[in-house]
A and B are shown apart, each in its own frame.
Chain A
Amino acid sequence: DVQLTQSPSFLSASVGDRVTITCRASPGVNSYLAWYQQKPGKAPNLLIFGGSTLQNGVPSRFSGSKSGTEFTLTISSLQPEDSATYYCQQFNDYPLTFGPGTKVAIK
């Protein structure tokens, strides 16, 4: 199975800060990785697929990139409504697997 690790597991940042979350895949997953945002009591919500393609309706402050087997989710200017847990998911191979999540809090 593909193992996904995320770092950090928790981060606290101020409104307006640039925030980056990393997801590493072992073995590699080409560009077949998605990012989801989950708020308390809600289902995950798709932000990015294919490593860097923004899902329709997702604010442009969210972006994704890839370097080797490392993927990055960036929030260019953190907003209060971005307080959530973020998960990566690989879809290069079965079984589909998720990262353990990164919780983002607002200072």
Chain B
Amino acid sequence: QVQLQESGPGLVKPSETLSLTCTVSGGSISTVAFYWSWVRQFPGKGLQWIGYIHYGGNTVYNPSLANRIVTSLDVSKNQFSLKLRSVTAADTALYYCARGRPMVTYYFDLWGPGALVTVSS
């Protein structure tokens, strides 16, 4: 079955760029059927949607983060990636990649196990 797995540094210094990759196994990201997404969960447990990238090329980001985010797809590696620049301690969170199933916008039908990222000097 399809599985998602996040990878990337667990510690990032303030003002630097957080970079995460999600590897999709058991299925192809080269499909228009899904939205490849990022969600984060803060230490207090609240969930925040970050944004998505679609195989067709379009992206939609949370306006509160849009000026700091870049996402990309690597179809040769069946991966998608997130870069969040100028991080602060407030960006410390558990970052999930997730598969979005379209319906008006979309909901999440499959999640990776999550990658903890701590922002600290």
Residues of A within 8 A of B46 (CB): 98, 100-101
| Beta-carbon contact of A91 and B109 below 8 Å | no
Interface residues of B in 58-80 (CB under 8 A from A): 60, 62-64
Chain A residue with the shortest CB-CB distance to B107? A34
Q: Is the interface of B mostly helix, strand, loop or mixed?
A: strand
**Complex Cα distance A34/B113, Å?**
19
Known: A95-B49, A96-B49, A101-B45. A45 touches B103 (CB 8 A): no
B-contacting residues, A52-84, CB 8 Å: 55
- Decide: A97 near B112, CB < 8 A? Known: A32-B105, A34-B107: no
Check A43 against B105 for contact (C-beta < 8 Å): no
A45 contact set on B, CB distance < 8 A: 111
B107 CB contacts on chain A under 8 angstroms: 34, 46, 49, 89, 91
Q: Does A42 contact B113, Cβ atoms closer than 8 Å?
A: yes
What class of interface size applies to chain B in its complex with A? 20 to 34
Measured CB to CB, the nearest residue on chain A to B47 is A98
Question: Which residues of chain B are near A46, meaning CB under 8 Å?
Answer: 107-110
B101-121 residues at the A interface, CB under 8 angstroms: 101, 103-114
Task: Give the distance in Å from the alpha carbon of A100 to the alpha carbon of B49 in the complex.
Answer: 13
The docked-state distance in angstroms from the alpha carbon of A49 to that of B105 is 12
Closest to B63 in A: A95
Q: When the two chains form their complex, are residues A32 and B103 in contact, meaning their CB atoms are under 8 A apart?
A: yes
**New A-B pairs, 19, CB < 8 Å, besides A34-B107, A91-B106:** A32-B103, A32-B105, A42-B113, A43-B98, A43-B113, A44-B108, A46-B109, A49-B101, A87-B47, A89-B107, A93-B105, A94-B62, A94-B105, A95-B62, A96-B49, A96-B62, A96-B106, A97-B49, A101-B47
